[in-house]
Each structure stands twice: as C-alpha cells, then as structure tokens.
C-alpha cells in the first residue's frame, strides 16, 4: 500500500510497527471540501474542528493555515490550540460538568464559552463577564451510529433542557451579556444527509422560542459535528455537498420565517476531517487455531479502542495481499490481556501469516487520541505524510515516560 507515493512497507521497515500514519494532503482536501460546501468564505458558516478527534500539533497547524476554528472540550485542549497559534476568538470551548477551575482557565484564555449546564453560568459570573455566551441545548432526542456515541436525548449527559436554557439566557441578559450563540449536538457518525437540516430545524425552533420570550438575537447557531465517514460494510457514504446545501437552505428559510436577524450557522466536524486520513499499521504476531481461528497483531485496544468500546468495525488490509481472494474467516485480536481485545470477528481475509502487515483504515479520528499505555504496552509512533514527504511526527512512548511520572518507588 502507498500513501502519496510513500510505501507503507518501507515505513514499517524503517520505523518498526505498530505506528499511525496520516495523509495530511487528504486532510487538506477534506478541509477545502468542507469550506467550499458550507460557503465559509462567504461567512454563511463557521467551522470549528473538533480537536478531540486528533489533536496532533501538525494537524492543528493545517487547521490554522486554513483559517478554521477549534471546538475544544477542556482547558487543556484550549491551551494546545492556542500553542498551535489558533486565535482565541476562533476557539469555542464546550465543556461538560465544568468546574469553577475549568471556567476560570478558559475565561482567562479569552475563548468563546458554550456552557453545558445552566448552573455553570453562576460559576462563570463569579469569575467574570464574558462578551459572548452560548448554551448547549439537549432537545430531548439524539441519534448516533452507536448508542455510545449518541449525545442528545433523555439518556445523554450532555446539554440542557429547554426550560432551563431559557432561564439561563435570561440570567445572562440580566448580567449584561449582549452577544449570544446557541448550540446542540445529537450524535456522531451520521451518514444520512437529511439528518443535518433536521438538526438545524430543531435548533432554530428552540432559538425562536427563546427569542420570542427574551427578544434575544443570536450571532451563531451551532449544530455540532456528527458528519460520518465509511468504515466497513456501509452501503452509502455521506454526500457533504448535499448535506451542506440542505442545511444552509433550511437555515436561511427558518431564519427568515422566524425573523431571527442575521446569525450564521456553525458546525464542529471532527471525524469527517481526519477519520479517513489515518492508518494504523501493525504486524501479525501469530496465528492461533483454538475453538476459533485467531490472528493476533502487535497492537490492542490500548492503541485502537473503538472496536472494544463501541463494537466499531474498521476496514482492514493485509499489505501486498489486496488482490488475493478472501479465503478464510478469522477473528482479529490484539495483545492486551483482556477478552474484549478483539478488533473483528469472522472477518473475511486472504490467508494471513505471521509477519504480514495488517493495516487498519479510517484510523485518523478517535484512534491515537484515545490510546493508553495499559499492560505496559506503550503508545505508538506517528508518521505524517505531506506533499510526498514522510516525517516521524511523534516518537513511540517508552518505559522512561512511565517512570518519569513515578515519584515514589517504595514506602
């Protein structure tokens, strides 16, 4: 397999496995595609990249160069975004279960604040009065590819029910805040174009309700992320142009109908930006014929958590065997000492042998970002490819990194 002319097997030879490798030209294409589709230059939409998906500084630098904003979920993310040169007014902080300490930090960092709890406003006002405030509404329903990535609805910890939101905006007005946004996010991994204009309609209906009670004018209305990519076995992919066209149309129509002034739409894509630009390259360590046939690789859920956490499935390539028939069904597992360390069950593959390179596709988002050094199996290297050049952009973690944090060995 090649990425922008760079051979993956050569990278494996040079750096050893496992590692993540990113096609940054692909990321640039996705960013351009989003900007075009959502008419960002014409100021019809503002994009905040959800950096939780992948917060490598190289990626944040690409985001900065494309003049795109950042959706940050913690003061730590805000700090990393600021360090990458993103301007504070291009960062939207959306916390959850915000502590006073968190709020004090992000207030000082000077970024826009989107609150996930009406009570957080009191905490924030004790710290200072922001120029702009927005609140994340939970409209009482959600939809995500898996239950575990559904972020709206009665079982979601996120967002604020509408009655409380109304009180919160009222309080903000009374405190003298004059600029407002409004936010919602129903869930991640959506491949249905019509979902997004529906979320627009849901949010604007709530905004209209708030406006009718408090006569608030909103500067921005943010529908969050959720733009899905194809992983494995999906029948259709998300048409982003159609998604954008329908969402903007719905937005314009309802802004007119409800007389909401001149707000702009905001979106927070994470997965769509980087998901299909990343690959996890592993080596097959052994094949085991037990009650089932297992193929084991030198990475586990500590490196790629999505299958174990959500039952997510990634497309898998055996390097050099792409053209061979898929002659057997195997279970693919990692080396973590847990029985949930399974990447796929009954996956049809060509005959796999020890030493083969197994490449997990769509591993750019929520992949390395969610990794951990469980079992003393440390996090991997990351390699970036841009304009036909490859660079080691993160070294592998090692045991010294573990010991560096240990202060006491004996008590």
392: left (phi over 0), alpha (psi -120 to 50) or beta: beta
For ligand LLP, the binding residues in 146-175 under the rule CB under 6 A are 149, 151
Please pick, from the candidates 23, 193, 268, 276, the single residue that binds ligand LLP as defined by CB under 6 A. 268
Q: Check binding of 142 to ligand LLP (CB under 6 A).
A: no
Nearest to 280 by CA among 343, 327, 324: 343
Please pick, from the candidates 22, 38, 218, 227, the single residue that binds ligand LLP as defined by CB under 6 A. 227
How many chain residues bind ligand LLP (CB under 6 A)? 20
Nearer to ligand LLP, 197 or 225 (CB): 225
Q: How many CB atoms lie within 10 A of CB 30?
A: 21
337 tagged catalytic: yes
Kindly state the tokens that stand for 395.
Answer: 């070294």
Nearer to ligand LLP, 225 or 278 (CB): 225
Q: Check binding of 269 to ligand LLP (CB under 6 A).
A: yes
Q: How many CB atoms lie within 10 A of CB 74?
A: 17
356-375 footprint of ligand LLP as x/- string (CB under 6 A):
----------x---------
Q: Check binding of 184 to ligand LLP (CB under 6 A).
A: no
Partners of 48 in the β-ladder: 69
Task: Give me the residue label for tokens 């259709």.
Answer: 236
Q: How far is CA 183 from CA 91, 93, 202, 211, 363, in A?
A: 14, 12, 11, 14, 28
Nearest to 220 by CA among 283, 263, 279, 276: 263
Q: Check binding of 224 to ligand LLP (CB under 6 A).
A: yes
Q: Check binding of 225 to ligand LLP (CB under 6 A).
A: yes
Please pick, from the candidates 17, 54, 55, 94, the single residue that binds ligand LLP as defined by CB under 6 A. 94
CB of 35 to ligand LLP, least distance (A): 16
Cα 388 to Cα 47: distance, rounded to the nearest angstrom: 28
Binding site for ligand LLP (CB under 6 A): 50, 53, 71, 94, 149, 151, 185, 188-189, 224-227, 268-272, 306, 366
**Catalytic center residues:** 337
């Amino acid at each position: 397999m090649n990425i922008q002319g760079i051979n993956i097997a050569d990278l494996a030879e040079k750096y050893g496995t496992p590692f993540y490798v990113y096609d940054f030209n692909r990321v640039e294409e996705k960013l351009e595609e989003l900007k075009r589709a959502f008419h960002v230059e014409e100021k019809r939409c503002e994009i905040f990249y959800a950096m939780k998906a992948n917060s490598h500084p190289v990626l944040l630098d690409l985001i900065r160069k494309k003049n795109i904003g950042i959706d940050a979920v913690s003061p730590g993310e805000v700090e990393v975004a600021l360090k990458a040169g993103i301007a504070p007014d291009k960062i939207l902080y959306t916390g959850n279960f915000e502590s006073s300490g968190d709020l004090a930090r992000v207030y000082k960092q000077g970024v826009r604040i989107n609150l996930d709890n009406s009570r957080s406003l009191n905490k924030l006002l004790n710290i200072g009065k922001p120029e702009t405030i927005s609140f994340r509404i939970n409209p009482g329903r959600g939809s995500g590819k898996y239950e575990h990535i559904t972020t709206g609805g009665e079982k979601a910890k996120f967002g604020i029910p509408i009655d409380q939101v109304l009180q919160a905006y009222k309080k903000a007005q009374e405190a003298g805040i004059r600029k407002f946004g409004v936010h919602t996010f129903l869930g991640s991994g959506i491949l249905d174009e019509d979902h997004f204009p529906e979320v627009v309609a849901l949010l604007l209906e709530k905004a209209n309700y708030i406006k009718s009670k408090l006569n608030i004018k909103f500067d921005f209305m943010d529908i969050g992320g959720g733009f899905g990519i194809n992983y494995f076995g999906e029948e259709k992919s998300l048409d982003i142009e159609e998604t954008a066209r329908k969402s903007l149309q719905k937005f314009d129509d309802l802004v007119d109908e409800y007389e909401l002034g001149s707000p702009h739409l905001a979106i927070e894509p994470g997965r769509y930006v980087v998901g299909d630009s990343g690959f996890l390259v592993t080596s097959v360590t052994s094949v085991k014929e037990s009650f089932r046939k297992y193929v084991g690789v030198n990475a586990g859920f500590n490196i790629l958590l999505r299958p174990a956490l959500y039952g997510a499935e990634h497309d898998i390539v055996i390097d050099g065997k792409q053209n061979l028939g898929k002659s057997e069904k195997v279970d693919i597992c990692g080396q973590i000492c847990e029985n949930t360390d399974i990447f796929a069950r009954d996956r049809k593959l060509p005959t796999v042998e020890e030493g083969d390179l197994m490449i997990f596709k769509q591993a750019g988002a929520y992949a390395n970002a969610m990794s951990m050094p469980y079992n003393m199996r440390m996090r991997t290297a990351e390699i970036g490819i841009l304009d036909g050049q490859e660079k080691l952009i993160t070294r592998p973690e090692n045991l010294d990194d573990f010991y560096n944090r240990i202060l006491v060995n004996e008590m």
